[in-house]
A = this chain, B = another copy of it.
Amino acid sequence: MSYNNVKVQPVKAQLPLYQLVMQRIVQWIGQGQLKAGQYLPNEWQLAEQFDVSQGTVRKGLNELVTWGLLQRYQGIGTCVTHKNWDWGDYPLMAMSKVLMGKSEALWPMAEILSIGVDTADAETARQLHINLAEAVWKIRIVWRHGCHLIALDEAYLPMRYFPDLNVRFLHQRSGLYAFILHEYGILLHTLQQYFWQQCCTEEQLCLLKTQQNILYLHWGKLSKGMDSIVYEWRRRCLNLGELSLQMNSIMPESHNEKN
């Protein structure tokens, strides 16, 4: 194709071709056509399919590797990682395993506690770049690993972007990010995140079923779409216990479970 061929460009904007490649791949994942562990067609096949050059496909795929969504093996192929999208980029590991040199990522399970409408307070409004008191969805999630309550999330999403999120989401059982990708076509990706330590509120302690008056680890996270709009602001308080948080999104897995 020539450089100026516009036929694969979206109507709304002149998204770079390699980002289109990324979108398509992620759509496949979001729609279940491509599941964790499955292998993609090779670069040349994708290039032909998307009508771009093989180098452009490569750039898109490599970008998704840095996002932790794909893994590539020389001589083998490109497959989808087992990343738990809603939890974030950093898996948990048992400290005892870490000390013994065994690395076995643990991805906790989510349980939606509530979805409701709230008005943005000063912090939420600023983080989401919306007006003060503008309507937002507030979603509360607890994270478990076995019987251990690991974390409590409060996620805020502007209602203006997701007018009927609750009705539709309640009929789903997939994750929030997969749902948003599937229903709204918006791929969320971490823009910024930070950690700090502070005590939990009474409510948080209650939901985490703990009462220890200690400093908990807190985790703030902003997510943007490919259009650079901030769609989600999430704060999480963590009760790590004997677990550690692995800061490396890229953890080479075995490639034996070829589809």
Q: Do B248 and A192 touch (CB < 8 A)?
A: yes
Q: Do B123 and A194 touch (CB < 8 A)?
A: no
Q: Do B195 and A195 touch (CB < 8 A)?
A: yes
The CB with the most chain B CB atoms within 10 A, among A93, A195, A243, is that of A195
Q: Do B99 and A244 touch (CB < 8 A)?
A: no
- Interface flag for A245 (CB, 8 Å): yes
Q: Do B247 and A193 touch (CB < 8 A)?
A: yes
Q: Do B194 and A244 touch (CB < 8 A)?
A: yes
Q: Do B193 and A240 touch (CB < 8 A)?
A: no
Contacting residues, chain B, for A194 (C-beta < 8 A): 93, 98, 244-248
Q: Cα distance A247–B196 when bound, in Å?
A: 11
Q: Do A196 and B126 touch (CB < 8 A)?
A: no
Q: Cα distance A128–B123 when bound, in Å?
A: 43
Q: Cα distance A195–B245 when bound, in Å?
A: 5
Contacts A66-B66, A214-B214, A215-B215; is A196 near B248 (CB within 8 Å)?
no
- Interface flag for A95 (CB, 8 Å): yes
Q: Cα distance A134–B137 when bound, in Å?
A: 56
Contacting residues, chain B, for A215 (C-beta < 8 A): 214-215
Annotate A64-105 by CB proximity to B: 1 below 8 A, 0 otherwise.
001000000000000000000000000001010011010000
Contacts A66-B66, A215-B214, A215-B215; is A197 near B101 (CB within 8 Å)?
no
Distance in angstroms from A246 CB to nearest chain B CB is 5
Q: Do B244 and A195 touch (CB < 8 A)?
A: yes
Distance in angstroms from A32 CB to nearest chain B CB is 30
Distance in angstroms from A116 CB to nearest chain B CB is 23
- Interface flag for A217 (CB, 8 Å): yes
From B95, B192, B195, A217 is in contact (CB under 8 Å) with: B195
